[in-house]
Structure 1
Amino acid sequence: MSLAAIALIVVMLVCMIIGVPISWSLILASGASLLLDGSALSIIPQRLFTSMDAFTMLAVPLFLVAGDIMAQGSISRRMVNFADSIFGTIRGGLSVVLLVSCAIFAALTGSALATTAAIGAIMYPAMTERKYPKDYTTALLAIGGTLGPIIPPSIVFIFYAQSSNLSVMKLFMSGIIPGILCCALWSVYAIFVAKKEKLPKEGNFSWKKVGIAFKESFLALLMPVIILGGIYLGIFTATEAAAVAVVYGLCISLFVYRDIKVRDLLPMFKNTAKTTANLMILIAAANVFGYLVAYFGITTSLTALVTKLAPNAVLFMVFSGLLLILCGMFMEATAVVVILCPILHPMAMSYGIDPVMYACFMVFLLCMGIATPPFAPSMFVACGISKEPITKVTKRILPMLAIQLIVGILIAVVPFLSTFLPSLV
């Protein structure tokens, strides 16, 4: 590799180690490499603009707004009540209710932290009131939040599509079966823990109770049907679906449920604007970095090196999987995707690995890091709600992380799990 290529990697790593924000680390590294190469620095603003000039990127702020609307209104609470009417009557049923609610909320927002915060605000008080262990409840919230970037629509998948030129719709569909499988296995584990620790049982099942809860939550439950159904039936794109989610959420929250006032919208939009700005700066900087990775031939050099160390696709999947888990433990999933996708995606294709399966594999393993210390943002949000020490919660969450790792391995071993639904498009 050339000196400029080495500088690109070294400057980025040094900046990140000393605490420079990831976005600026990528920009500084890009500038340093261009100066050493003698190329024009004007490449940076040109690539920054090009990366934002994409229709799919409009979906990010729209899904964030939709998440805020559901969290602040009663949409998420009504969904939880419906899940409670079905699963709440079994021993430890509230654990299952929490996980199912996370899955439903994830199918509307695509955000791990929004899922953890919204469901945690509703479920944590209810579960602690019924004598569920606080550290166990916190662990469930943290692990449930990781479904946000897996079950579509997913903000992380949007960034992956932007970095790899894959279809957003196919990536969305690749996460459905793994996400549901993971939620189901966690629920089985939750029932096992409930029986082992003799957690409370909430009365007997009643169809009347289910009917009442369904009636009260019908419009809320219709939201994921409209959004996901519209995407998969080809009625609208993922970006248009995000706009539909915002409009639908606003209409039923403002005019039907009337639990959000017009005066609440401005603070909501300000919060989304701040979050969106941070994400967009990151994706723009990563686009510049990814362009230079290809320009300096870093991918080609690394592919040749990896080919010697991993002569077949199996070893490549093992090595890249370990790398993704490690990176996910120290960095945000979105940041890892925009940095590593331009490098690992072409490598995976050179081994003949299905690109959609590898995208799902990559995002899924990175999502483990959302609940794995030391980074663990969803765990920090959950612990912020419960005030439980991270050390206690970590012990509780390890079996759930093991289940998630098993599903991640299954994605690689059984590509059907992630490729079947996209193949129907």
Structure 2
Amino acid sequence: MTPLIFAFKLLLGVPVALVLALTAIWYIWESGNAVLFDSFAQKMFSGLENYGLLAIPLFMLTGEMMNEGGMTRRLINAARVFVGGFRGGLAYINLVANMFMAAIIGSATAQIAVMARAMTPEMEAEGYDKGFAAATTAAGGLLAPVIPPSMMFVIYGVLAQIPIGDMFLAGILPGLLLAASFAAVIFAIGMVSGFPKGEWFTKSEALSALFYCLPAALIPIAIIGGILLGIATPTESAAIASLIAFLIGWLIYGELKPQALFEMFRRTAVNASMIIFMIAAANVFGWVIIYEALPQKLAALITSVTSDPFLFLLIVNLILLFVGMLIDGIAAVILISPILLPIAMNDYDISPYQFGVVMCLNLVLGLLTPPVGVGLYITSSMSGVKPGRILKSLWPFLLAVAIILVILSRFPWLTTVLTG
């Protein structure tokens, strides 16, 4: 009965956090094990007793301060220095700027919202098809869950009980591989449709753009450098990055006013609390998973089909693709990790880092695919392009992601070589 209640509430559109908590309550009542009610609140709270979770609001705050402090615009200008002169230069600028932003914001939805507003009108003004401009921006948002720091990696690392810093390292090569595949898609489309010719900056313009971007570049350097050198944990790096973003926006660029801090703190608190509540609710939902022995039952089913880790990951990719179309990526990570990760590790000897990268990248595809497609509608809202038109130009990028997922599933070293 419990699985039916769970599925029914999801189909009704009940928020995932409430679905998890109410399903756990229903299960306790149905099982007659009422003593579990006494520790319900304690179990929820214990799900939040993880230092790594502090990184979530801190990375969100860093993104807020970047947008408010004018750093996004300067990063886009710096990207123009490196790729602006190629034919279709503005499309490559969009991609490189998305890579910069992914290394700072760590949230696909936030990145799509920022970049769609900044890049789509500019690409349209230079003669690009509006649907393609919006699709390129939306696809760039898929870099956020893979290029560190990534909020999905933070949550997965907490659930999988693995070092978040190592999880960030696992995403570097896949992130670069994904960006290269997007560049190949842009090149191929440009060969067919004939993009406008780009213009290189003059030497003085290039130096000026790079000089004004240098302070903003300190943020990803502080985040990634601190983790790589072992100077700071991901949470400490996020705190340092938010402080740097505030000081740069206020004292150097002069666009971030101290009086705007309260509103940024409020937005961060509201957005982070939704994610934190989902994690707390997932902790009590773990009772259902444990008592119903879901991983063991699913493992018996899947291992009867195949014993090959690669085929297992292909099956998981198909499952995740379907789940990601219906449920928000972060919610899906919280739901699925406790069920599928033990099977991957215990029955197929798959690295938790490989599994995490594949899962997070796959689930974020749901942002851009109907019927939910939150990222698709954010892009549409910010750019003024209809979702259907965006989707028509988006499919080559989605195909590229599917190919990368197969490659990451086949070659585990791509996700484990940097983690030692």
TM-score, normalised with respect to structure 2: 0.96
TM-score, normalised with respect to structure 1: 0.95
Counterpart selection for 2:18 from 10, 16, 24: 24
Matching residue of 2:400: 403
- Contact (CA 8 Å) 1:332, 1:370: kept in 2 or not? yes
Matching residue of 2:410: 413
TM-superposed deviation, 1:296: 3.1
- Contact (CA 8 Å) 2:326, 2:371: kept in 1 or not? yes
TM-superposed deviation, 1:105: 0.6
Q: What is the CA–CA distance in structure 2 between the aligned matches of 1:100 and 1:51, rounded to whole Å?
A: 37
- Contact (CA 8 Å) 2:106, 2:144: kept in 1 or not? yes
TM-superposed deviation, 1:35: 1.2
Q: What is the CA–CA distance in structure 1 between the aligned matches of 2:90 and 2:101, rounded to whole Å?
A: 16
Q: What is the CA–CA distance in structure 2 between the aligned matches of 1:294 and 1:156, rounded to whole Å?
A: 23
Aligned length: 417
TM-superposed deviation, 1:205: 5.4
Q: What is the CA–CA distance in structure 1 between the aligned matches of 2:199 and 2:156, rounded to whole Å?
A: 45
Matching residue of 2:191: 195
Counterpart selection for 1:176 from 172, 176, 179: 172
Structure 1 residues 114-263: aligned runs within 5 Å: 114-204=110-200, 206-263=202-259
Q: What is the CA–CA distance in structure 2 between the aligned matches of 1:347 and 1:217, rounded to whole Å?
A: 45
Segments of 4+ in structure 1 off by > 6 A?
none
Q: What is the CA–CA distance in structure 2 between the aligned matches of 1:311 and 1:199, rounded to whole Å?
A: 47
Q: What is the CA–CA distance in structure 2 between the aligned matches of 1:135 and 1:61, rounded to whole Å?
A: 33
Matched residue of 1:76: which SS?
Answer: helix
- Contact (CA 8 Å) 2:24, 2:287: kept in 1 or not? no
Matched residue of 1:52: which SS?
Answer: coil
- Contact (CA 8 Å) 2:10, 2:19: kept in 1 or not? yes
TM-superposed deviation, 1:311: 3.5
Deviation by residue 1:112-151 (Cα, 9 ceiling, x = unmatched): 0111122222212211111211110111111111111111
Q: What is the CA–CA distance in structure 2 between the aligned matches of 1:199 and 1:302, rounded to whole Å?
A: 49
Moved more, 370-379 or 326-335: 370-379
Deviation by residue 1:198-254 (Cα, 9 ceiling, x = unmatched): 221232454433222111111111221121100111100000011011100000111
Structure 2 unaligned regions, length at least 5: none
Q: What is the CA–CA distance in structure 2 between the aligned matches of 1:210 and 1:253, rounded to whole Å?
A: 21
Structure 1 unaligned regions, length at least 5: 1-5
Matching residue of 2:268: 272
Counterpart residue type for residue 384 of structure 1: S
- Contact (CA 8 Å) 1:30, 1:44: kept in 2 or not? no
Counterpart residue type for residue 391 of structure 1: G
TM-superposed deviation, 1:194: 2.4
TM-superposed deviation, 1:43: 3.2
- Contact (CA 8 Å) 1:94, 1:127: kept in 2 or not? yes
- The yes-or-no answer on 1:97 pairing with 2:93 is yes
Counterpart residue type for residue 295 of structure 2: T
Counterpart selection for 2:71 from 59, 70, 75: 75
> For the aligned residues, what is the CA RMSD?
1.4
- Contact (CA 8 Å) 1:93, 1:191: kept in 2 or not? no
- Contact (CA 8 Å) 1:253, 1:259: kept in 2 or not? yes
* Cα separation, partners in 2 of 1:315 and 1:400, compared to 1, 3 Å: same
- The yes-or-no answer on 1:339 pairing with 2:339 is no
Matching residue of 1:3: none
Q: What is the CA–CA distance in structure 2 between the aligned matches of 1:261 and 1:146, rounded to whole Å?
A: 31
Q: What is the CA–CA distance in structure 2 between the aligned matches of 1:206 and 1:189, rounded to whole Å?
A: 28
- The yes-or-no answer on 1:352 pairing with 2:346 is no
